[in-house]
Amino acid sequence: MPKYSYVFFGSEPIGPIALKALQLAQYEPLVVVDDPKLSTEEQIAIVEQAQPTFLLVVGYGAILKRDLLDIVAGQVVNIHPSLLPAYRGPAPVVQAILDGASETGVTLMEVDTKMDHGPIIAQVNHRLRGDEYPDELYSILTQKGVELFLEHIDDYIEEKLDLLPQMHAEATFTHFIQKEDGLLDLSRPADELERQVRAFQGWPRSWVVVDGKRLIIDKAHIEDGKLRFDLVQPENGKLMTIKEYCAGLRRKPEEVYTSLGIG
């Protein structure tokens, strides 16, 4: 049983991962809030009814207002899947893959009224291989974040820790990924395109236009310095290999690549 009670604020993609890990650790919240569209008044009503000691935020998708934080005297902690102040915002895992980062990590921090701005409670690094997909990193980093939370939460609540202010001048930021971001700009270097295919596999998915129709690129690799597709999904079709797709067009893969300007 938790020593201190809490309300959990978390939504896709990492909220459910953290909640499952917390349940396995028998550190379950009083209430789960998973809808970031709730108004501040609705959030306040939930927390006032639950009467928790603190709030835990994991990828909730909305900034909590001061009126809500004040209910628990500002004792609000967040698991954020980056080494803050790097990659503040809604897409730290995706951006780390896009950038080809060699390292990322997870931060346990105290929440204030600005986005990913509060002081750091603890951090742990994670080396990247360079072939990760978001789902893998979501799972790894969130699990590490829950471990940090379980290790430090009691001392945090009891004010036994010295929190580390972030170096705000060094902050970098991520943005919400839009559907149109998935279009592959084939004039860019092949390694950047391959990273985009991996980073966007879940959402919004990367795509090109072949014969006037959208072709989703689910997996790709680099061969002799050129981007080559592995798994694709035609518009209104199923996932298939590039060879299967080209066979349906009665064209060779090399002809498709040439038509796209990456032959």
CATH number at residue 89: 3.40.50.170
Q: Considering the domain boundaries, does residue 25 fall inside one?
A: yes
3-state DSSP assignment of residue 87: coil
In the predicted structure, residue 3 carries a pLDDT above the cut 80: yes
In the predicted structure, residue 1 carries a pLDDT above the cut 80: no
Strand-pair partners of 233: 216
Q: What's the total number of domains in the chain?
A: 2
User: pTM here?
Assistant: 0.94
Same domain, 202 and 112: no
Non-local CB neighbours of 247 within 8 Å, separated by 6+ positions: none
Q: Considering the domain boundaries, does residue 158 fall inside one?
A: yes
Same domain, 111 and 191: no
Same domain, 132 and 39: yes
Average pLDDT in the 35-58 region?
97
Torsion angle in degrees (nearest 10) through CA of 43, 76, 88, 123: -150
Q: Considering the domain boundaries, does residue 1 fall inside one?
A: no
Same domain, 191 and 63: no
| pLDDT band with cut points at 50, 70 and 90 for residue 112 | very high
- Enclosing domain of residue 199: 179-260
Q: How far apart are the first and last CA of the chain?
A: 60
Measure the CA–CA gap between 23 and 25, rounded to whole angstroms: 5
Q: What is the CATH number of the domain that holds 248?
A: 3.10.25.10
In the predicted structure, residue 260 carries a pLDDT above the cut 80: yes
